[in-house]
Amino acid sequence: MTTRKQIRPFHTVLVANRGEIAIRILRTVRRMGYGTVAVYSEADRDSPHVRAADRAVLIGGAAPRDSYLDIAALIEAARRAGADAVHPGYGFLAENADFADAVDAAGLVFIGPSGEAIRAMGNKAQAKRLVMSAGMPCIPGYQGEDQSDEAFVHAAADIGFPVMVKAAAGGGGRGMRLVHEAAALTQALASARSEAEVAFGSGELILERAVVAPRHVEIQLLADSHGHVIHLGERDCSVQRRHQKVIEEAPSPAVDAELRARMGDAAVKSARAIGYIGAGTMEFLLDGEGRADAGPPQGGTTPSGGSDPRSGGARGPQFYFMEMNTRLQVEHAVTEAITGLDLVEWQLRIAAGEPLTLQQSELRLDGHAIEVRLTAEDVPAGFLPQTGPVLRWRPPVDGHDVRVDHGLVEGGAVSPHYDSMIAKLVAHGATRDEARRKLLRAIEHCVLLGLPSNQGFLADCLADAVFAEGTAVHTGFVQERFGTQLSERAVPGIRTIALAAFGALASKMPAQDVRQPIVASALGQRAARVTLAQGSARWEVRLQAQGAQWQATVRRIDAPADAAAHTLALRDARWNDAERTAFSAECDGMVESAVLALQADAVQLFHAGRAWSFERVSERKSRVAAGGGGAVTAPLTGRIVDVAVREGETVQAGQRLVVLEAMKMEHTLTAPIAGVVAEVCVQAEGQSSKGALLLRIEEAKA
């Protein structure tokens, strides 16, 4: 097939995306001397990306999430702003063939592959058929046109369990389900279809044999309009949760020069066979034990096809093609760090018709780079996406070896309309362990207060001994290493509790010179009591002042009456800034620093590399939980996809009740108890805010 594009000169680029994605693209576009145009929804009116461009165009507000998917509005915005090229960023419309075609038909330059190439590789079923014809090894599976449940059940029986259900039209873990047994397949198909339709506008699915404990490795490609294709080495994306990437690195600890050459050669040949132009990524599963494909296909399944990628029958890991992403990846920064190339720059140069100047033999990989994705998620609640105010945002300062891409601003908010990823941090070092250490220090100094995030979880992953060693990491790493710990909330230490209570008290004092210690005389009292809570745990902190010295006595009051109290001495406590958002104190001979954010009934503190949130019990409003243990409330703000029960219906504990969609993910809520549905407060396609009552179950009486 051919995907050659008409080359047109351009001068001003509209970035059809938002947040940190738009900011990152705009940075390179501006550096190369092009004019810049941003777009925004009403929900993003105050977003930093709006101010990062020469001009910005409002494209919608009634449905904020849909604004960035409105092709007609985006093309009209380009015309209004005088843009003659469009960069889709990564995500949203970056892999939408209709968008690429519409941009081209409007006489504008689409900075990405042609609509034909996107269409060919954007559907997993078709993509597998195309690359297999170029000799690419693929996982045995089913990608037939018959999308009935019966066809999938028959195919799964031929493939053998476990199998992976995947959305044919998308990626990012959405529309993906791992199924271990035949009895669970029908429900998995229904759930995956629903999520895929919401995320990608298509419910088409495929099946693949589940590869046990694989690594997820991808090859970065660049292809110009003159027929030159090169790869830029691999990235390892094996650390995942719910099939979504958490940590990425380059190069992969599991790939040597010989395997890199084989994978790169297969990727380049496949890209050349389809006439691909632009930046793209071939994604693979790497079988770490070198297991070969287990025999020929049966029934309606499709074989892996092609030749064995282990050249000449050599022993070594087997790799299988999964999909091609016809866009820039979130994790492209690690490739940039080890190659010294700006991939957005090369997207622009290729779109302008320039040839690649780098030959494959000239590729040099410098050191190692690791990236983490900071997300607004409640990890113990199952990585539930979170929304809320950004009370404090203090990223580690960008340096030569640490890069922070984000679109946050202190005083802003994270809305429910978009993805939960809010920043990415990238560290580069001469060795993998040097990069890991730098990134661990960076994430431990990344302050986000106001809503839950995965910051502490990322630090735990980077500090983990298996991750530090590197060679035993696979896609099941998170569950294998952390397991039930993921649902356990971290318990704050005595110093953290004492500092939180002290910060809450000190913030009430009249403003003082930040160069002077915080003294009790400014408060008019020498002793105070602060009660803090975190879930069911409660602590009473008694603060006694003697001039510039404070004594903090911490006692756990939800524990047995004889629980020991801990007393600490706080000396030379003082604010670190005029706004009184950060303070330090010598705590039993050790200087401690903390960042503080106060709300009406809460104290939020960043201390010792972690964010902590406490309720102030003494000021907390009385709250009576409606419906007791049978109340089902929304764990996050989002759209009601489905209500599976009606008022008066008898339900069993664990039964599916409501499906909620937020931040492009579906969440199924189940019955906490057996009983009768006494009240249903929502309906499908409605909206619900976090904490709102969805329905109430009255417990069945014996």
Q: 322: closest CA among 408, 238, 256, 202?
A: 238
Task: List, for residues 403-460, the tens digit of each pLDDT value.
Answer: 999 999 999 999 888 889 999 999 999 999 999 999 999 999 999 999 999 999 999 9
Q: Is the pLDDT of residue 311 over 70?
A: no
Full set of structural domains in the chain with CATH: 12-111 (3.40.50.20), 124-132+214-288+304-487 (3.30.470.20), 140-210 (3.30.1490.20), 494-619 (3.30.700), 628-699 (2.40.50.100)
Tell me, what's the pLDDT at 61? Answer: 73
d(CA 322, CA 660): 29
Tell me, what's the pLDDT at 354? Answer: 96
Greatest pairwise CA separation for the chain in angstroms: 83
* Average pLDDT, integer, range 506-518: 80
* Average pLDDT, integer, range 318-323: 90
> Residue 701: left if φ>0, alpha if ψ -120 to 50, beta else—which one?
beta
The rounded mean pLDDT for the chain is: 87
Q: Is the pLDDT of residue 484 over 70?
A: yes
d(CA 341, CA 216): 23
3-state helix, strand, coil in the chain (%, to 5): 25, 30, 40
Most confident of 65-69, 423-427, 618-622: 423-427
The DSSP bridge partners found for residue 495 are: none
Tell me, what's the pLDDT at 211? Answer: 82
In the chain, the percentage of residues whose pLDDT exceeds 90 is 61
* Number of helices and strands in the chain (H, E): 17, 39
CA atoms within 13 A of residue 238's CA, in its CB half-sphere: 30
Task: List, for residues 574-617, the tens digit of each pLDDT value.
Answer: 999 989 999 999 999 899 999 999 998 899 999 999 999 999 98
Q: Is the pLDDT of residue 298 over 60?
A: no
The pair of structure tokens assigned to 373 is: 């994705």
Cα→Cα distances 247→216, 250, 373, 552, Å: 11, 11, 7, 39
Residue reference for tokens 């297969």: 266
Tell me, what's the pLDDT at 5? Answer: 61
**How far apart, in Å, do the first and last CA atoms of the chain sit?**
69
* Average pLDDT, integer, range 345-360: 96
* Average pLDDT, integer, range 142-169: 91
Angle value at C-alpha 665, between 189 and 180, nearest 5 degrees: 35
Q: Is the pLDDT of residue 247 over 90?
A: yes
Give the least confident one: 91-95, 100-104, 384-388: 91-95
**Residue 455 · residue 396 · CB < 8 Å:** no
- 35: helix, coil or strand? strand
**Residue 693 · residue 626 · CB < 8 Å:** yes
Cα→Cα distances 281→72, 221, 662, 692, 702, Å: 28, 6, 27, 42, 59
Write the CB contacts of 37 (distance below 8 Å, at least 6 apart in sequence). Answer: 12, 13, 14, 15, 53, 54, 55, 56, 57, 77, 78, 81, 82, 83
d(CA 147, CA 149): 7
Tell me, what's the pLDDT at 88? Answer: 97
Q: Is the pLDDT of residue 299 over 60?
A: no
DSSP class of residue 617 equals G
| Predicted TM-score (pTM) of this structure | 0.83
Most confident of 2-16, 406-420, 456-470: 456-470
* Average pLDDT, integer, range 269-292: 83
